[in-house]
Structure 1
Amino acid sequence: MNPAASPVIAFRHAQTIRMIIWIIAVQAAFWSLALLVRPPVIDPVFKQNRLADVALQGPDGQMREPGGRPNYYLGEGREARFVATVRLDSPDQGLVVFAPRYNRWARLSVNGQVIPLSDAPAWRGGRLGGKWVVPPGFLRAGRNVLTLDIGRECCRAYLAALIAAPPGPIDRAIRQWRLQSALPPIGLMVLGLFGAVSCLMAAGRSPYRQLGHAAALAFIGMALGGVWQIDVLTPSSEPLYGAAGQLTLLATFSGLVALADRWFPGGPRFDRYLTVLAPAFFVVIAATAFTTDGMPTLLRNLVDTTIVVLANIAIIACVRRGLQQDRQAWIPDAAVVLLVPSISLADLIDSIQVDPLALSIAPLGVLALAILLMLGIVRRARMLSRRLEDANILLDARIAEKQAELEATAELLRQREAEAAVQGERSRIMRDMHDGMGGQLLSVLMLSRDENSPRHMITRTVEQAIDDLRLLIDSLDSVGDTMDIALGQFRERAETKLRAAGMKLVWSNALDGHSIMLAPGAILAVYRIMQEAINNAVRHSGGQVVSLAISRYGSNGIEIAIADDGRPGAGLWKRGRGLSNMEMRAQTIGGSLAIETGAHGTRVVLRIPAH
């Protein structure tokens, strides 16, 4: 033996053990969940009141034990009469008779009197069962004879059970049983349609278009299986009803084979067989749908078995093909896909041995298919992630080549941006000094050369220049501060000016530290508007109190209201350049200025919306 081959053999053995563990774990988890969803527990009320002495009356009137399976009483012909007895101690309570499952139609007679159905479900084959409420007048103390006539168009008549009990608990048990019988097919129909639509939408322009179409076909077959079990769209002909069930089975397995064939690498390989066998089965099934007796039971079982076996052979071949190419990568998918053979074979055995008219992989198949698609989504996401990682590795080499150049370029851009910002701020400061303090100093110079100029005019002009310089410095000091802090720096200067004029400042700030920030140029414009408003209040209002209220405006704006208690004339605010300068500064920073004058004084409102 070649020593170099030993590690390879050990690796293959390890993979085989891993595959077996995966298959056992998935099967155990799935069937445990299936038992939880559909526990094999008979309702205690049904079990307690089930009639055990059901006999079959032959054409000659003789009673004999009905044949059949453990869960069903079977008659040989299309019509059968089942007879049972029930003993009553108190017939005045009445009696409820319930047949959980029977085929085609049923008629109940009690002591020779025909009892009409108390409700008539629209489902074929008594899938919701038949309930008869027997009035006390039809009953007698002691032995009562129940005769149930069962009929159908083909095959044999069958009756699942016959239950008789007084009203009360039996009614609640019937409602619960019907609800449990109705929910699975309805949920199957809804989930199947949802899965089919989702797969078709996902397969629109996807590279997995064929995979999505195959999954949609399987989901459509399962949805049709739910519709078939609900029996809403099926006409009254029983052969057509049986053929519809077989066609849903054919559609479901055709979709599952096509999906598995495309799921694993190396496919598809079974499209040629599908295009030949599926139409052939369709023709055979459809040909019997419009006959008088429909497809015989043996032939129907043979067709169902052939569909299930051939489909499972194809699915197992797809799994084997995938494991041969990359066993380690496809073991989880194989374990999930192998649920389909186990579910379908268990369903086939159950339908042949127990339920004469129920063969449908759909209820549990939807869950298996959903698990497979979820696994596929995760797998393809991982594959995409690996491809992205490989692409990132290739890109990293190219990015590394450009990184130094980009860093140098970015550094140069940062320097230029910093220089441009400094130059812009320098230009703004120079412009503010030239327009503000420069003009005021020029006025002082002109007044000082004129010997007739009043001294107080020179003094006021110098004070204005100093105030403007302080505002400029304060705006530069407020860089990085929020508006409530920047405006707080203005408070001390406003109080000093008003105190010197014999007036009082009432300050109100409702920003509460809200992080509203403006550029230094905008803050300087706000300072100048506020200063002009306070200067006008000092010069013209004649009042005693100036209130300054700061609050939020809109979502993230600011409102500053400056009001005095004087009584100026309306014309004072219309003269001079002060008002025009205030409005121009407000517009420059994107705000608005409103002035309200009245009997209670003047109010200047500056509103700056969110930036």
Structure 2
Amino acid sequence: MRPKWASLLMLWLAMLLAGIAGVSSAATAASEAPIELRQGTVTTTVGGVTRTEPVELSYHWDRQHNGRPGMASFDLPFTLEAEPETPWGIFIPRVGNVFEVQLNDALLQVYGDLDRSNDADYAKAPIYVPVPGRLLRKGDNLLQIRLHADTARRAGLSQVVMGPAAPVRTELFERAYAWRFTGSVLLMAFSLIVGGIALALWLTQVDADAKGAQRRDGIYFWAALAEFCWAVRVADGVIAEPPLSWGPWGVLMAACYAGWAASSMMFVYHLAGWGRDRRYQWVRWPIAGIVVATVLFSALSLQREEPMWLTGWLAVQIVFVLAFVSAFAVDTLRKPSAERLLVAGAALVTVMFGVRDWLVIRLSDAYGETTWVRYSSVFFGVALLLIVLRRFRAASVLARGSVAALAERVAQRERELAATYAELEAAARDQARTHERERILREMHDGMGSHITSAIRQLQSGQTSSGDLLRTLRDSLDQLKLQIDSIHLPPGDVGALLAAARYRLEPRLASSGIEFEWAVDEVEPVERLGAQGMRQLQFLLFEAISNVLQHAQATVLRFEAGMQGTTVQLRVIDNGKGFDAVKHRPRSLAERSGAIGARLTVESRPGRTVVQLEFD
């Protein structure tokens, strides 16, 4: 009976331990899942009046305060079931105009100067803020976002997502960044290319009229002006700190938007042939009035801090543009052609997107939405480009007789160039892979290989202790782990490098009886530290720590990092026995610091050794 009861007791204990482990694993997994912060409190100050109230994100400042400027402080509490084991990040789709982010009373990031009005605007691109290690804690946490809002500048705060750095950055931030920031850059480049082609054709294609006077085709001029206006307007999406204050800059952007619409209508005006019909020549005056009125109403809206002046005028403008496009569509159905049908379709889609943007951006409470017209404008730009190129081709055929043979030769040349480029690109990829393999093998040979060689020699000598041999093998394993980590480190991110080193080496220090202290503040990225430089810095820090483990007989090791003005300062400090830093200056540390352009300072005395690196 006793063996039976003993077996049952052992089975019960095993089940209990398995249940505890399952609960722990579930808590850890829950703590590592991204969380979306929507609810909290907001404290606003508008016109000298401060008010605190509950808030549910997103928060559209212009809708809540009628476009008046002011300050807001958002407190977003959240609870974690366990302390995260991996680095976290914060993703904010839209926030502005200028703001700062704090987590558990620690300042993480500052974008702009909260005390300055009508200056920078960081609401144009999504934001990602890395969270330093150990800043999050089990239980209650508080994310605070303070912002300064300018008049009628789309200020506010969207919902906030927090979670492990890898999925939050790659799956959320980078995708949003590509659509809004990178997409704006590509659209601007496309508009500049189309505008440049149209302008070149307007300058070079000169025809003679019936009286023998030379004239240029206006359709090229208006296409160029439309695309240049749109390029400037789209460029605003990537300029966080414009060269002008918000008042003049906002009027300029509104004028560019109106200039694009008016120039596009003049392009259609010439394409439809209305310029040769006296019945339609009056249309030119209200088209010009669109630009003038937009400038006046945008200036009035900003001066009086009442965005509805511009919103109302944009409604009138949309009605006029819709009527103009509808008249052109009807005329196209009566006299259809490929050019007219292409432009009419693009114009109708653009107008529909413009109506959507007016309703969502100017009237609704939704915050975080972006305009659709910036993307539909591509259709119109493609239509302009195709028509301009088709007319140029027709003019070239009339002037030179035939273009077919030339086009075939150009196409053949393009195919040859494409084939050659593909071969060069394949060769470049093979060469890059070869160089990367050589680099990895070289670093493994110089780093881990040298430690394993030392371990073999220690075994062969028969004079080493198991502790020394174990230390050598652990150094080899730690260096291999750090080499793997270095592949994923972003260039110049010294904070991420220190966090990775801490994650890898803190257990090793603890097993060696060394207390680890962490005093790392947020530091600016070091631009000149590329992938190779980051690896050199990682090896330098590892060597400094390895010296402490092997020689210092220390009980405390401390990491310090911070900003001294514009200088990034890193320090590794131990309380070991010290050494003569003048006679025995660490040669390897000096070589590695020189390779990455850092200033190395080594101070040592019994009870305190400091290895300091500084980057300007």
User: What is the TM-score with the length of structure 1 in the denominator?
Assistant: 0.48
Q: Which has the larger radius of gyration?
A: 1
User: What is the TM-score with the length of structure 2 in the denominator?
Assistant: 0.48
